[in-house]
Structure 1
Amino acid sequence: MKLLAISDLHVGFPDNRSAVASLGARPDDWLVLGGDLGETFEHVTFVLDTLAPRFRRLVWVPGNHELYVDPHAPPGEPRGAARYARYVELCRERGVLTPEDPYPVWEGEGGPHLVVPMFLLYDYTFRPDDVPAHEAVAWAAEHGIAAADEFLLDPAPFPSREAWCHARVAETEARLREAAPGLPKVLINHFPLRQDLVFLPRVPRFSPWCGTRKTTDWHLRFDARVVVQGHLHVRRTVHVDGVRFEEVSFGYPRERRDGRPIDAYVKQILPAPEAVP
């Protein structure tokens, strides 16, 4: 039994939707879905209903795209925290683990580890030290970078996305302080936990929407062995302080030119894959 991961499936794109439909079954394994499955409840339920029968268990964390609301959506469309809560309900109806559930102990190959799905958002602190917080968006705009989040991600009932982020960080930190102190952990979050892991060669000034400095040392404080992230659409493995960080994005169709099937994008988290010579 292996722990696997993939993120940023973006099934609003027909090619990605077809790819998810073609993903092979691995009924003995768990699959982490690291956020940005799509932008609508239908997108997310499609992924869950397609993949849940193919794996022993699914683990889901939200990205920013799940929280998007079309500007022309009716007034009753769930937004902000209410939208997130609805996704949690959809997951629980299907037996999918969420950041709101008790953290399970992984007893499969490479275990035991505590599996910790998290929802932390970002607070615009992933920026140069000489750029004030209130100027982070303008700093990105100087290079033509703008995030759709500024128009589509409503933080209600919080006054800002930063405030929502800080509330999520405080709640999660409190849980982690009490969570199985004797067990190593697999931390799972859509957004990178460290600014130095934001590798965006084509759009470097997108970093303000990529995380919070409040989590910089969480891999050490909470005894992580592996940290799973997405969001960047730049798949890579990096080791920091002896901890393995895995970016597991599938990404947009235009970003994949190698012709590999989606199965090749599923990353083994536990047991640790053997190093390639």
Structure 2
Amino acid sequence: MTIKAISDLHLASQANRDALAALPSFGDDWLIVAGDVAERFDHMKLAFETLTQRFAKVFWVPGNHDLWTVGGDGDGPALVGEERYRALVDLARAHGIVTPEDPYETWTGAGGPCVIAPLFLLYDYSFRPDHVGRDEVVAWAREEGAVCADEMFLSPAPWPSRDAWCAGRIEEAERRLSAIPAGMETILVNHYPLRKDLIHIPRAPRFTPWCGTKRTEDWHRRFNARVVVSGHLHVRRTDRRDGTRFEEVSLGYPRQWDQSRGMAPYLRDILPEGPPSQMLASWRR
């Protein structure tokens, strides 16, 4: 038995949907899906149906694309903000998938025991230079061509801002993580990286404000993480900080992975540990 992980399936692409359909069964293995599955509910449903047929247990956390409201939504409602997130949680639960709203599961296979903690933390624009104010950050990023479509498509409703929604999510996650028994190791799963120094996007260096929050900088130590799993950057790589392994597990858009290999080789072994992942050379948001 193995825990595997992947993120950023981006099923708006037919090539990515074809690769998902061709994914073989992994028997008793568990799978972590670290967000950005799709913008449409019908594509989310396709992913949940397919992945639960291929793996014994599936975990999902939302990415920003999952939370976008972009008009037509397949066979699902065009919901926004918190209401959209809750509808996605309901959809995942209907397929037996573990979400950030569910009790944490404990892996007792090879490399365990570890508590798997799916997180939904968003971002608060704090991954910006000290001299750039919060009200200036979007304009500052745009000066070098960094623009995030979240500013148009990711509503925080009913929260007053994405920053406030992020703060609420952090407080809830801190409460739950603090209740894990002392000494128990964890696998922390979030769409966004937990540390700014893990962001490697040289082609868009000013995209960082949409990549996380400084409030999680020490969570790998504070919550005894064996592994931290994230996506969002489309730069697959393995890093280590303070003895904790950080895995960026994105698949990405069709131009960012070798379609001739299929999706299976891009599933990252979390436990037991596999060979380190290498940085993806190309990046485009």
In the other structure, the counterpart of 2:107 is 106
Matched, 1:126 2:151: no
Q: How does 1:70-219 map to 2 (within 5 A)?
A: 70=70, 77-219=78-220
In the other structure, the counterpart of 2:266 is 265
Deviation at 1:273, TM superposition (A): 2.1
Deviation at 1:182, TM superposition (A): 2.6
- Aligned residue for 1:31, secondary structure, equals strand
* Distance in 2 of aligned mates of 1:6 and 1:257: 15
In the other structure, the counterpart of 1:232 is 233
Structure 1 vs Structure 2 CA RMSD: 1.5
Deviation at 1:52, TM superposition (A): 0.5
In the other structure, the counterpart of 2:63 is 63
* Distance in 2 of aligned mates of 1:158 and 1:269: 34
Amino acid at match of 1:156: A
Alpha carbons 1:71, 1:152 under 8 Å: kept: no
* Distance in 2 of aligned mates of 1:128 and 1:68: 27
Amino acid at match of 1:110: G
- Aligned residue for 2:101, secondary structure, equals coil
* Distance in 1 of aligned mates of 2:60 and 2:136: 33
Deviation at 1:133, TM superposition (A): 1.5
In the other structure, the counterpart of 1:48 is 48
Alpha carbons 1:114, 1:180 under 8 Å: kept: no
Q: How does 1:21-36 map to 2 (within 5 A)?
A: 21-36=21-36
Deviation at 1:271, TM superposition (A): 1.1
- Aligned residue for 1:28, secondary structure, equals coil
* Distance in 2 of aligned mates of 1:259 and 1:197: 29
Alpha carbons 2:71, 2:78 under 8 Å: kept: no
* Distance in 1 of aligned mates of 2:43 and 2:218: 34
* Distance in 2 of aligned mates of 1:43 and 1:261: 19
In the other structure, the counterpart of 2:281 is none
Q: Gaps spanning 5+ residues in structure 1: where?
A: none
- Aligned residue for 1:232, secondary structure, equals coil
- Aligned residue for 2:27, secondary structure, equals strand
* Distance in 1 of aligned mates of 2:204 and 2:15: 24
* Distance in 1 of aligned mates of 2:29 and 2:72: 40
Amino acid at match of 2:50: T
Q: 1:156 to 1:140 in 2, by over 3 A?
A: same
* Distance in 2 of aligned mates of 1:87 and 1:157: 16
* Distance in 2 of aligned mates of 1:80 and 1:258: 33
Q: 1:4 to 1:41 in 2, by over 3 A?
A: same
Deviation at 1:180, TM superposition (A): 2.5
Deviation at 1:258, TM superposition (A): 7.3
Alpha carbons 1:194, 1:216 under 8 Å: kept: yes
Q: Deviations over 1:75-132 (max 9, x none)?
A: x732101100001101111110000000011011111000000000000011111111
Deviation at 1:68, TM superposition (A): 0.4
Amino acid at match of 2:46: F
Alpha carbons 2:63, 2:191 under 8 Å: kept: yes
Q: 1:254 to 1:33 in 2, by over 3 A?
A: same
Alpha carbons 1:113, 1:186 under 8 Å: kept: yes
Amino acid at match of 1:35: G
Alpha carbons 2:72, 2:78 under 8 Å: kept: no
- Aligned residue for 2:112, secondary structure, equals coil
Deviation at 1:43, TM superposition (A): 1.2
Amino acid at match of 1:221: R
Alpha carbons 1:120, 1:168 under 8 Å: kept: yes
* Distance in 2 of aligned mates of 1:258 and 1:20: 11
Q: Gaps spanning 5+ residues in structure 2: where?
A: 278-285
Amino acid at match of 2:24: G
Deviation at 1:268, TM superposition (A): 0.3
Alpha carbons 2:238, 2:276 under 8 Å: kept: no
